[in-house]
Structure 1
Amino acid sequence: MWKRLDAVLTLKSPLHIGYLPFRGSVISPTRYYVPGRNFWGAITKRATENLHEKSAKEYEEIGKQIKEIFRFSYFYLYDGKTIFIPQYSEEGLRFGDKKQIQFEYRFIGSRVLTAIDSNSGAAKDESLHEIEFIKHKFSDDNGQTRNTKIIGCIWVKDGARLNNYEIQIENNGIFINNFNLIEELTLGGEQGYGFGSVKLEFILNEKIFPIKDIPDKEEINIIAEEDKPILSHLKYNARIPFRGELELLIGRGYFDIEFDIEGDTQKTGGRYKENPGSVLTSPNYHFSPGTFVNLGNDKELLLGWNGVLIRKGCIAIRF
């Protein structure tokens, strides 16, 4: 079985969760939430650097172990009262109790950045770009400045060990070798500019994140309810009625990706291992978070290591 933790983290700096790589002077948009894959990557990095000298082999081994014993939901913005989950209504896209334009005005900003040539001290050619980001501070309805928070779920398998160390779950974190894995994390892109720093605020004593989970021995099952939007991506199927949006998912391939969506290990798997981060995964259409789907009698889905929802009997989506 698994232990579920509803966790709240505070943004200590702006947060950029990018869609696609950019080139030249273009806007790089951010997602308005944090996918589970980002938490997997951040905890892999934090655990590896605490337990080992940094090496690709050790990152790979710790990352594989975390994929087996952790699960992550997507994390959404939270102001202490409202969880700003997207949902596609008849009025358009909303986030929590706010229209999209209201949400963006409160939480989303942008900044022009450029890379500096260390030899000349001048801006590098074609490095000027505008970055969209989630603000780490916002003004509430009363004009008070407040810290932005994110909320979501982390599941840890009962009795699990990481690199032969026992994992201990306390009310203030997840510990291994007396080290809190989730006390401070770095998420998303533009970390060289100081983006992506988050700190654990607290772990809730009650389940308030609106996800219906049914853990079993090996997996986390998620119930997709017709009257509620999905909270992470789900691979598109033309036979599934829906109200919402489709998104073409693509990402960078690292050691965690052994095959593409069609299972073609010869085509891409080796390239990911030889040159991690430089190869893009095969694009596939998915229902976006906030979409309402009608799965009929097959409402029970699996939660993948990266937070993506998987219909039972389907190949796991790796992006």
Structure 2
Amino acid sequence: MSWKLYRWVWQLKSPLHIGVTPAGVLNRTRLYIPARNIWAALTEELARRSSASFPDYEGAGQQVQEAIRFSYLYPAEQVNGEWRAWLPQYGQNGNEPGLSWRREDSDEFLPDRQFRRCILITRPSTAIDPSADSTAEATLRELECISPWWRRANGQDSAHAVAMVGYVLCQNTQLCKDVLKIDEIFVGGDVRYGLGHLRRYDQPDEAQHLFGNQVDLQSPVPIVQTQRVLAHTLPNSSVSFIGRWTCIGGWDMVKGSMMSAHGAWEPGSSTANMHRFAIQKEGWWQSQ
């Protein structure tokens, strides 16, 4: 069965925290939303809508994994009425050998440090000792979040809204319709405290390309042809990357156990030539 590709836009209605390795007292965040986080949020919503009693999260999660694939979501700003995502890229911007961010359909790019100043905020937080109803010792920290509003470094631009843009690929027609009907989700950490509130901007549009890259929608697993990966990508000895190496893992909510840790290339890592990458159930990419 062939796949259908849709581009969707989720406007950020509250600060968003997608946890990554902390730095001292700062709980850092990723600047994008991995596919697994999107899968988890949509699975939760589907399970609650389809059950009159206790939601079947495991069953709903398995159905979504089998029939649907998600791209990562990236920060976007509205330019001339169109939402344009900012995408990571390593070592391809002249004098910028490290990580930088390039806007879709534009030559504009920002070094990672400058881009972070445009989009990140911090929130102080602490743990409460219930026995004393006061701050627990040594728990004061700062929580790094993606702001719902862009902030230019020079301070001259007026604040404007942040959205998260990505793609969804569907096989099962009815399940696809159910997913595309969802217009509000909560993603990431501290959602019970109001963080990670996303609302879909409009009805998803059917697309032909994934962030400008060709996609094979006729294969059993959707395949992206690109020089720059936009998801965590499992290694392949025949493909050489310029980028950053990291370890991915986590809790498998379907099996109820820890996932095996994997080494992977981070989003934005690039290759010298075009390669084909399959989008796996977990949202990771793998060279073909």
User: TM-score of the superposition, structure 1-length normalised?
Assistant: 0.76
Instruction: Tell me the distance in 2 between the aligned counterparts of 1:207 and 1:118.
Output: 54
Query: What's the secondary structure of 1:40's corresponding residue?
Result: helix
Report deviation, 1:46: 0.4
Does the C-alpha gap of structure 1 residues 250 and 51 become closer, same or farther in structure 2, counting only changes over 3 Å?
same
- Comparing 27-36 with 201-210, greater Cα deviation is found at 201-210
User: Any idea what the Cα deviations from partners look like across 1:258-317, whole Å, max 9, x if unmatched?
Assistant: xxxxxxxxxxxxxxx3xx5xx4x3322111111112577xx22210122210234xxxxx
Query: What's the secondary structure of 1:153's corresponding residue?
Result: strand
Does the C-alpha gap of structure 1 residues 2 and 79 become closer, same or farther in structure 2, counting only changes over 3 Å?
same
Instruction: Please state if 1:168 is matched with 2:146.
Output: no
Query: What's the secondary structure of 2:38's corresponding residue?
Result: helix
Report deviation, 1:127: 3.8
Partner of 1:32: 31
Instruction: Tell me the distance in 2 between the aligned counterparts of 1:308 and 1:284.
Output: 11
Instruction: Tell me the distance in 2 between the aligned counterparts of 1:232 and 1:55.
Output: 33
RMSD of aligned Cα (Å): 2.5
1:308 to 267, 279, 284: 284
Asked if the contact 1:35/1:306 (under 8 Å) is kept, the reply is: no
Asked if the contact 2:117/2:151 (under 8 Å) is kept, the reply is: no
Equivalent residues in 2 for 1:191-202, closer than 5 Å: 191-202=191-202
Instruction: Tell me the distance in 2 between the aligned counterparts of 1:54 and 1:304.
Output: 31
Instruction: Tell me the distance in 1 between the aligned counterparts of 2:238 and 2:141.
Output: 40
Does the C-alpha gap of structure 1 residues 51 and 79 become closer, same or farther in structure 2, counting only changes over 3 Å?
same
Report deviation, 1:192: 2.6
Report deviation, 1:115: 2.8
Report deviation, 1:188: 0.8
- Comparing 34-43 with 283-292, greater Cα deviation is found at 283-292
Does the C-alpha gap of structure 1 residues 80 and 306 become closer, same or farther in structure 2, counting only changes over 3 Å?
farther
Partner of 1:98: 110
Partner of 1:63: 61
Amino acid at match of 1:72: F
Asked if the contact 2:16/2:147 (under 8 Å) is kept, the reply is: yes
Instruction: Tell me the distance in 1 between the aligned counterparts of 2:231 and 2:157.
Output: 32
Misfit runs of 4+, over 6 Å: none
Partner of 2:106: none
Query: What's the secondary structure of 2:177's corresponding residue?
Result: strand
Asked if the contact 1:304/1:310 (under 8 Å) is kept, the reply is: yes
Query: What's the secondary structure of 2:113's corresponding residue?
Result: helix
Report deviation, 1:103: 0.5
Instruction: Tell me the distance in 1 between the aligned counterparts of 2:163 and 2:62.
Output: 28
- Comparing 130-139 with 207-216, greater Cα deviation is found at 207-216
User: Any idea what the Cα deviations from partners look like across 1:79-110, whole Å, max 9, x if unmatched?
Assistant: 12442111112512111111112211110122
- Comparing 231-240 with 203-212, greater Cα deviation is found at 203-212
Amino acid at match of 2:269: T
Query: What's the secondary structure of 1:244's corresponding residue?
Result: coil
Identity %: 25
Instruction: Tell me the distance in 1 between the aligned counterparts of 2:206 and 2:88.
Output: 25
Amino acid at match of 1:283: A
2:126 to 111, 114, 125: 114
Instruction: Tell me the distance in 1 between the aligned counterparts of 2:37 and 2:214.
Output: 22
Query: What's the secondary structure of 1:63's corresponding residue?
Result: helix
User: Any idea what the Cα deviations from partners look like across 1:122-153, whole Å, max 9, x if unmatched?
Assistant: 23455433211111112357521211111110
Report deviation, 1:215: 1.0
Instruction: Please state if 1:138 is matched with 2:139.
Output: no
Instruction: Tell me the distance in 2 between the aligned counterparts of 1:18 and 1:42.
Output: 15
Asked if the contact 2:224/2:276 (under 8 Å) is kept, the reply is: yes
Partner of 2:186: 186
Partner of 2:105: none
User: TM-score of the superposition, structure 2-length normalised?
Assistant: 0.83
Aligned length: 269
User: Any idea what the Cα deviations from partners look like across 1:221-256, whole Å, max 9, x if unmatched?
Assistant: 11133xxx2111111245432211111113223224
Does the C-alpha gap of structure 1 residues 206 and 130 become closer, same or farther in structure 2, counting only changes over 3 Å?
same
